[in-house]
Amino acid sequence: MATAPSDLRVEKTRTMSMIPGYPSLSDQARGVLKFLWRKSHVNDDWTKGGEISDAWDRWSIFPWYMYPRYDLEWSTRVAAKIAQEIPAWREGCAEIIDLMLQRNTQYAAWFDLVEQKGFDPNRGHYPYDYYDKNMPPGWAGVYNAPGYYGNGLATKVPPKEARRTSPYTQPHSPAVGRTYNPDPIYGNGGSYMMGKGYLLNIIALYEFVCGSTKYDEPIELVYDDTIRFKYTQLEMAKVLYDQFTAPVDEGGSDLTPGIDCEVGKVFPWCVGVGGLGMKMTDKIHNTNLRTGYYRWLDWAKKNLVGGAKGPDEPYEWASIYYDRDIPYNMNGPKHQIPGNWFCCAYQYWPDDQTLGRRLYAGAKKKFMVKEPDGSAHINFPPELGSGEDLVGFGAAVACAWEFGDLDTHAQLMTWANNRYQPTAKDGEFYYQFGLDEPWPRGWPNDWLLMSVAGGPGSWYRLYNEPNLKKFHQPTVHSVDYPTVDVGQAYYDEGLGALMVAIFPGDDKKAGSNTTFKVTNLTGTERKVLQDGVPFGGWKALGDGEIEVTTTVDRHAFVIR
């Protein structure tokens, strides 16, 4: 961040709509926040028997990620990154994330764990591509495809004493080991990271954004009237820690390769999400549960990436998943999905920048196609058809921005702005990707829009240096959002001044009166500047709190 100007300079130069030298949101970032607001407030029903909106992407990367819960978590990250830039105004981002979180506790977010038991009855009737590209060779017809949980799938031969009379052989069935259990956090003793890891990260990001401790109390996860469970945030994180450090799951399957998603299948993409949730939980609660994830990360660096020509060279392959029951490593040519490379690189970055950068460099080498006009895009490899990977593209943009690879970021954004229909409509901003859908496609937008707020390194700082002092500093609240947009809300400790910038969120109401409040102010004397000049349109409400009355317009405030 730029060095704050002197006290005198602040007073004499504040005539701009943004106060220079402090974090702020661009027009695009404010548009993205407004898009997330509309998306999170869509009127749908995630309870059993309800109907969910098409706002939630469950088509991209089918069948790997065909559930709407993923869109919730990736959208939450965008809101959290935006919130990081405006720490003194939290209510808008907090409400968006809370609505995402509430959905993630309901039926539509975890029905698969309850309803997909054991072997998929349709496992012998998958499309050929499933057998060819999505599962280990030789297992067609007897193996669940990715996307089918397989709750209670048992893979072990039952232990029996040797018989002294015929039949002398031990029985080969039924298998023993795991038992069916609808608890989405326990997850068969080492499974369902695709549910519990994502939920934990949303909870942790919510608490980071707003400081509310309501999810430190038991959270009820509801499938229906009879199947429901309660866990606190710390209890969820402790379950992950225990399973990361356990030798085997309840079926006797080695847990060194990590907590799996579908039973047996460990997806590094999802394990990384759970690791992020544990990291933020530790930062907020001053715990040390993340160490369980580090055990897995050390193993992953030796087994789930490889082929590099040297210790600092780009990787040549990355596993899409590892089946710890067989075991089998899905790291062949047909398993190299750009989105997996770029997304994992981004998620590893807060813990291991070398790992993230080598994955990113390998992904660029394998999947990035440069065009004569200087633009670039991300394609699947020839083994997967060579078409464009929209999720991989979005994650590549996020990585390029975060890692400071600004040349690549510019090349990718040239392609996005020329080909993917950047849309500024009704104050919102998103990409339509030429898909002609009623809602902008979720997952590609979630990843691509990660780069609209915060500069390079902001994702790393979010998880390693979260701003928790903001909860005790002057704070803006009761903003009439989205009628009024907030583009800046930052407290300068050195000056003892709160910097706030607002914009019209609804052009039809521009010029009308609006109010907002500021709390946690210190001292008894107040001074308010609007657009660089002393401003009297405020009143004291009590100790440390004032209410400001202004107009729906572009205004910059300095409040002390």
Q: What's the 3-state SS for 102-158?
A: HHCCCHHHHHHHHHCECCCCCCCCCCHHHHHHCCCCCCCCCCCCCCCCCECCCCECC
Q: What is the rounded average pLDDT of the residues 270-291?
A: 97
Q: 382 is written with which tokens?
A: 């020839």
Residue pair 540/525 in contact by the 8 Å Cβ criterion: no
Task: Mean pLDDT check: name the lowest of 29-43, 145-159, 308-322, 338-352.
Answer: 145-159
pLDDT in tens, 120-170: 999 999 999 999 999 999 999 999 999 999 999 998 877 777 778 888 877
Domain containing 462 — which CATH number?
1.50.10
pLDDT in tens, 439-475: 999 999 999 999 999 999 999 999 999 999 999 999 9
pLDDT at 4 over 50: no
Answer yes or no: is 173 within a domain.
no
Answer yes or no: is 472 within a domain.
no
Predicted pLDDT at 156: 81
Q: What is the rounded average pLDDT of the residues 467-486?
A: 98
Q: What is the rounded average pLDDT of the residues 88-104?
A: 98
Q: 375 is written with which tokens?
A: 């633009």
Are residues 417 and 493 located together in one domain of the fold?
A: no
Answer yes or no: is 243 within a domain.
yes
pLDDT in tens, 198-225: 999 999 999 999 999 999 999 999 999 9
Full domain range(s) for residue 295: 42-118+179-467
62 band by pLDDT with thresholds 50, 70 and 90: confident
Q: Which of 448, 467, 486 is the last residue of a domain?
A: 467
Predicted pLDDT at 164: 83
Q: Which of 467, 530, 560 is nearest to 19 (CA)?
A: 530
N residues, the chain: 560
Residue pair 479/488 in contact by the 8 Å Cβ criterion: no
Are residues 275 and 392 located together in one domain of the fold?
A: yes
Predicted pLDDT at 162: 75
One-letter amino acid at 262 equals E
The span from the CA of 20 to the CA of 13, in Å, is 9
pLDDT at 377 over 70: yes
Are residues 481 and 461 located together in one domain of the fold?
A: no
Q: 275 is written with which tokens?
A: 């690791």
The span from the CA of 326 to the CA of 346, in Å, is 29
The count of other CB atoms within 10 Å of the CB of residue 121 is: 9
Task: Mean pLDDT check: name the lowest of 251-255, 466-470, 474-478.
Answer: 251-255
- Residues 351-358: contacts with CB under 8 Å, at least 24 apart: 351/275, 351/279, 351/293, 351/294, 351/297, 352/297, 352/301, 353/460, 354/312, 355/297, 355/301, 355/305, 356/399, 356/403, 357/403, 358/305, 358/308, 358/312, 358/313, 358/314, 358/315
The span from the CA of 165 to the CA of 497, in Å, is 88
16 band by pLDDT with thresholds 50, 70 and 90: low
What's the distance, Cα to Cα, between the start and end of the chain in Å?
Answer: 21
The span from the CA of 319 to the CA of 301, in Å, is 11
Are residues 357 and 396 located together in one domain of the fold?
A: yes
How many folded domains does the chain comprise? Answer: 2
Residue 275 DSSP SS3: helix
Q: How many helices and strands, by DSSP H and E, does the chain display?
A: 16, 20
Name the pTM for this structure. 0.95
Q: Which of 441, 467, 493 is the last residue of a domain?
A: 467
